[in-house]
């Protein structure tokens, strides 16, 4: 990148190792022009918070999908937004050792055993970063799919650092490994895409997923009706 000294106005080439614009998309002329046009047409912002971060996408998705009595199995190096989402969901959180698939399976079996003893129905979700934000290593998607689905759990992956850079064409972990996607993918536009916004993709209708989601939509509708009546 070109670094300009604000004191004397001189410029010099510098390698930047602390940027989220992984692909330097922030400097593509067509994108800059499109951004300028959009600002001129619609203004500089939405006028309020609109869930526009990867952080909020994780918090919102986990707390919408999981609730009291559910289990979330979380890698010990997961991003803070995943940890906050689990806390907000009030589900039981079992943390497994980083990228340790045997420890994940142990945690799931432990939870299933406890649920079976209580006579309740087991509902679980495995959640992990795709590329770990601190260590930069990758989650083992094929094994995660095998273990999560083998134990009737949902699998959610946070592709914040994978989008645009992992896989032959930047489509993330599934492309990298040549396997299926997780059930739910969460992402952010603030890293490689060099913009702002959170996203959630549900790849297929999954019976484990549709139940809590349907409950969530039902209570949302009830809350809206209540506030309209007041």
Ligand X SMILES: Cc1ncc(COP(=O)(O)O)c(C=O)c1O
Question: Which residues are tagged catalytic?
Answer: 133, 161, 191
CA-CA distance, 64 to 115, in Å (whole number)?
21
Name the 3-class secondary structure at 117.
Answer: helix
What do you get for the CA distance between the two ends of the chain, in Å?
Answer: 56
Interface stretch with ligand X, choices 43-51, 156-164, 201-209, 220-228 (CB under 6 A): 156-164
21 binds ligand X (CB under 6 A): no
At closest approach, how far in Å is the CB of 159 from ligand X?
8
54 binds ligand X (CB under 6 A): yes
At closest approach, how far in Å is the CB of 54 from ligand X?
3
81 binds ligand X (CB under 6 A): yes
By rule CB under 6 A, what string of x and - marks binding of each residue 58-77 to ligand X?
x-------------------
Choice from 53, 97, 101, 200 touching ligand X (CB under 6 A): 53
Task: Please answer whether residues 159 and 186 qualify as being in contact, where contact means their C-beta atoms are separated by less than 8 angstroms.
Answer: yes
CB atoms < 10 A from the CB of 119, how many? 6
At closest approach, how far in Å is the CB of 228 from ligand X?
32
Name the 3-class secondary structure at 186.
Answer: strand
CA-CA distance, 64 to 149, in Å (whole number)?
20
Q: Which of 61, 129, 122, 58 is nearest to 92 (CA)?
A: 122
Choice from 111, 144, 190, 212 touching ligand X (CB under 6 A): 190
Rule CB under 6 A: which residues touch ligand X? 53-55, 58, 79, 81, 129, 133, 158, 160-161, 188, 190
């Amino acid at each position: 990148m070109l670094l300009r000294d604000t004191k004397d106005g001189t410029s010099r080439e510098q390698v930047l190792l602390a940027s989220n614009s992984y692909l330097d998309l922030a400097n593509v002329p067509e994108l800059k022009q499109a951004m300028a046009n959009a600002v001129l047409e619609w203004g500089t912002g939405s006028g309020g918070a609109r869930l526009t971060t990867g952080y909020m996408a994780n918090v919102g998705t986990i707390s919408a999908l999981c609730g009291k009595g559910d289990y979330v199995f979380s890698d010990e190096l997961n991003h803070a937004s995943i940890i906050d989402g689990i806390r907000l969901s009030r589900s039981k959180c079992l943390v497994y050792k980083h990228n340790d698939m045997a420890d994940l399976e142990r945690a799931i079996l432990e939870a299933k055993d406890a649920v079976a003893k209580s006579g309740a129905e087991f509902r679980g979700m495995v959640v992990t970063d795709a590329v770990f934000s601190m260590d930069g290593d990758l989650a083992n998607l094929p094994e995660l799919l095998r273990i999560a689905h083998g134990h009737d759990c949902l699998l959610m992956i946070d592709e914040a650092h994978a989008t645009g850079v992992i896989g032959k064409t930047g489509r993330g972990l599934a492309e990298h490994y040549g396997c299926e996607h997780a059930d739910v993918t969460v992402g952010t536009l603030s890293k490689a895409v060099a913009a702002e916004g959170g996203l959630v993709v549900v790849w297929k209708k999954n019976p484990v997923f549709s139940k809590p989601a349907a409950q969530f939509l039902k209570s949302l509708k009830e809350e809206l009706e209540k506030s309209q009546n007041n």
